[in-house]
Amino acid sequence: MKITRLTVILAILFIAGIIQVMAGETEPPVLLSRDATIKPIVENGIYHQPWFEGSFLDLKEDLLEATKAGKRLVVIFEQRGCIYCKKFHEKILGIKQVNDYIRQNFTVVQLNLWGDREVTDFDGKVMSEKKLARRWGIMNTPTALFMTDDLTGKKGKYGRDLAIVPLFYPGAFGPYTTFDMFVWVAIKGYEREEPFQKFHARRLRKAKAS
């Protein structure tokens, strides 16, 4: 069988098409609506979702359990009277598409910036939520840390050293940016050649055009 230049080009295009289809299968649709219909729960001035992880606050165990369930762990610091926390829960998590995606793909551990509950850090040290916040250098709320899903070779590490995205402020950004950040982490966009800025810009253009 004679292999011509045209045959090679067609084969390359065919393989490229398969790769694009496979990539599309791992990337969920862009945000289709900003209508917020889901109401958050408010207890003692703290906004939260009913599906937030009710763990024993052993972060290493939370990460292992999340990985076992095929999810990613995100630790979010919030506080009472936080207008951006309110916006995050009402205007962003209030959108069904966003709420469903995060609930299905992430284990969310919510911590109080000034809280007294005991938390076991990834390195085994136990301290209050507020001391953990200081240890991790958290100053603003809401602050989300998207944690690694692989602790291999990371013994003794904690906080930002284990975060794929160390400091993300979901309430300071709009729903498109926040949704795309969760998507980018879930599909491990950080392991691909397309940085988040280009990933988000591409998806935002598509969302605006739809």
Q: Does residue 23 lie in a domain region?
A: no
Query: Residue ranges of the chain with pLDDT lower than 70?
Result: 1-25
Q: Does residue 15 lie in a domain region?
A: no
Contact (CB, 8 A) for 40 and 108? no
**pLDDT computed for residue 26 by the predictor:** 78
Q: Does residue 74 lie in a domain region?
A: yes
* Assigned token pair, 96: 């069904």
What CATH number is given to the structural domain containing 175? Answer: 3.40.30.10
In 24-152 the beta strands, taken as DSSP E runs, fall at 41-43, 46-48, 72-78, 106-112, 118-120, 126-128, 143-147
Which of left, alpha, beta for 174 (phi over 0: left; psi -120 to 50: alpha)?
Answer: beta
**pLDDT computed for residue 210 by the predictor:** 86
Domain extent at residue 82: 35-209
Q: Does residue 127 lie in a domain region?
A: yes
**pLDDT computed for residue 17 by the predictor:** 42
Q: Does residue 4 lie in a domain region?
A: no
* Phi, psi of 68, rounded to the nearest 5 degrees: -60, -35
Q: Does residue 19 lie in a domain region?
A: no
Q: What is the pLDDT of residues 48-76, one digit of tens each?
A: 999 999 999 999 999 999 999 999 999 99
The 3-state DSSP class for residue 53 equals coil
Q: Does residue 18 lie in a domain region?
A: no
How many domains does the chain divide into? 1
Q: What is the pLDDT of residues 139-151, one digit of tens each?
A: 999 999 999 999 9
